[in-house]
Amino acid sequence: MEIPFAESWKIKMVEPIQKSTHTAREKWLKEAHYNVFQLESQKVYIDLLTDSGTGAMSDRQWSAMMVGDESYAGATSFFKMKETIAAITGFKYVIPTHQGRAAENVLFSCLIKEGDMVPGNSHFDTTKGHIESRKAFAVDCTIAEARNTQLELPFKGNMDIKLLEDCLTHNADKIPFVLVTITNNTCGGQPVSMQNMKEVHKVAKKYKKPVLFDAARFAENAYFIKTREKGYENKTIKEICKEMFSYADGMTMSAKKDAQVNMGGFIATNLEEWYEQAKVKCIIFEGYITYGGLSGRDMNALAVGLDENTEFENLETRIKQVAYLAQKLDEYGIPYQRPAGGHAIFVDAQKVLTHVPKEEFPAQTLTIELYLEAGIRGCEIGYILADRDPITRENRFGGMEFLRLAIPRRTYTNNHMDVVAAALKNVYDRREKVTRGVKIVWEAPIMRHFTVKLERL
Ligand code: F0G
């Protein structure tokens, strides 16, 4: 008999979670204005809101926490972190920040000015926020095939090189850098191929533009390269990462994802001019350049987390859990962005709630239905998150409309995944009865999804 696959770790510490009743959830959700970000976590049974900072740290990480150096300047923890980052990425300059968007804030404050354009593959919402709040434009050059959720492509997160080149040809003077998000979160946790990174780099260099990686899930991206791209099957994850980063001039990192910590981020680069400018902004916004908003113990845990998550077994355990949930949804016929991504399943809400018009936000409606069904919190990656066009102020209905089920690292078992799949199946079975969605009663001028207030129609 073939021995089945099992996790590459065992559990040493647990945290109780609570079930609730449908009646209680109705009340809580109403109080939260039908926005799941406004729910207290105690009112959630299985929390798939995000995989960001919600994972479990290893015993090695916790022991590293105990020996953090809390010196204000020149802490050994900083140098440990910097050496690990340099070994994995090849970048020699490192600036810590308290999370990913802080890295964006520090670096973009130096690089982006009003009227600029930043071409990329489905910029993440905070990234887009940091571009648009500077009155610049995020130009989406993701391959068109990514929009067809039922199409199986190994590297659906890729950039369309022709679109990128068009953008560079017509706007070269307005483009401070080209941005590649690995993996491509917004289009479904989809990976970018090594070939595509190489081509992006080549085109960018033709126009003398630097390439920046938004590298929150770079290790998951490397796993997909190893398992899907010809020529990489015998390389280690660390070797693949080194090659990936050789096609970039720098990176912003949310360490809350692939560095497996609860809080943290950094900028890393080989460009001295980026480093020199960013140092100044780091001191203003984050803190001194050898801690940047992190304590010494955080930097120690980050270094160990990065090292652990650039090993094949850890990544395989994680990505196979996402695939396990996908397989259940396949059994039930529930449509999602195919193939399953690295950190989440993105349910195609428009294909599920076909009677809910786009103006009533089907993905948010599905998010609400899943919470009501079993206390499972996913999140909308769709029209509410897409925000309004900065110029016309119209809702941006052009993109994809997903309920994202993000799976925290090393946190839930496949039994939890069974519960999630069963709850979603129940919602799916009664989908024809869901004909109305929600309307917005209050929204913030930018990044509205975190605080939006909704009413059920
Ligand atoms: N870039 C990407 C691709 C991300 O997914 C995120 C965060 C960030 C940047 C910002 O990092 O949260 O540390 O400030 N994504 C989380 C998510 C929040 O749920 O996908 P941060």
432: DSSP letter: G
Q: What is the mean pLDDT of residues 244-268?
A: 98
**CB 265 less than 6 A from any atom of ligand 1:** yes
- Residue 390, pLDDT score: 84
Q: What are 397's two structure tokens? A: 């209905």
**CB 264 less than 6 A from any atom of ligand 1:** no
- Residue 34, pLDDT score: 98
- Residue 86, pLDDT score: 98
- Residue 447, pLDDT score: 86
pLDDT, one tens digit per residue, over 344-364 is 999 999 999 999 999 999 999
- Residue 446, pLDDT score: 85
pLDDT, one tens digit per residue, over 221-240 is 999 999 999 999 999 999 99
Q: What is the mean pLDDT of residues 422-445?
A: 97
- pLDDT of residue 180 exceeding 90, the answer is yes
pLDDT, one tens digit per residue, over 92-140 is 999 999 999 999 999 999 999 999 999 999 999 899 999 999 999 999 9
- pLDDT of residue 219 exceeding 90, the answer is yes
342: DSSP letter: S
CA distance 167 to 177: 12
Give this prediction's pTM. 0.97
**CB 216 less than 6 A from any atom of ligand 1:** yes
Q: How many A from CA of 257 to the centre of ligand 1? A: 8
E strand segments, 239-374: 250-254, 265-269, 344-348
**CB 108 less than 6 A from any atom of ligand 1:** no
- pLDDT of residue 77 exceeding 90, the answer is yes
Short-list 142, 118, 132, 299, CA closest to 212: 118
Please identify, by atom number, the ligand 1 atom nearest to the C-alpha of residue 99.
13
The dihedral region occupied by 266, where left means phi > 0, alpha psi between -120 and 50, and beta the remainder, is: beta
Return the residue whose CA atom lies nearest to atom 11 of ligand 1.
100
Please identify, by atom number, the ligand 1 atom nearest to the C-alpha of residue 50.
19
- Residue 360, pLDDT score: 97
Q: Is 173 helix (H, G, I), strand (E, B) or coil?
A: helix
The rounded mean pLDDT for the chain is 97
The dihedral region occupied by 150, where left means phi > 0, alpha psi between -120 and 50, and beta the remainder, is: alpha
**CB 47 less than 6 A from any atom of ligand 1:** no
Judge residue 233's burial from the number of C-beta atoms within 10 Å of its C-beta, 0-12 exposed, 13-18 middle, 19 or more buried.
exposed
- Residue 240, pLDDT score: 98
Tell me which of 182, 186, 254 to substitute to probe ligand 1's pocket, judged by most ligand atoms within 8 Å of the beta carbon: 254
Tell me which of 185, 302, 409 to substitute to probe ligand 1's pocket, judged by most ligand atoms within 8 Å of the beta carbon: 185
**CB 101 less than 6 A from any atom of ligand 1:** yes
**CB 214 less than 6 A from any atom of ligand 1:** yes
Return the residue whose CA atom lies nearest to atom 15 of ligand 1.
52
pLDDT, one tens digit per residue, over 24-47 is 999 999 999 999 999 999 999 999
Query: Mind spelling out the 3-state secondary structure of 350-390?
Result: HHHCCCCCHHHCHHHHHHHHHHHHHCEECEEECHHHHCECC
By annotation, the residues acting in catalysis are 72, 124-125, 214, 216, 257, 449
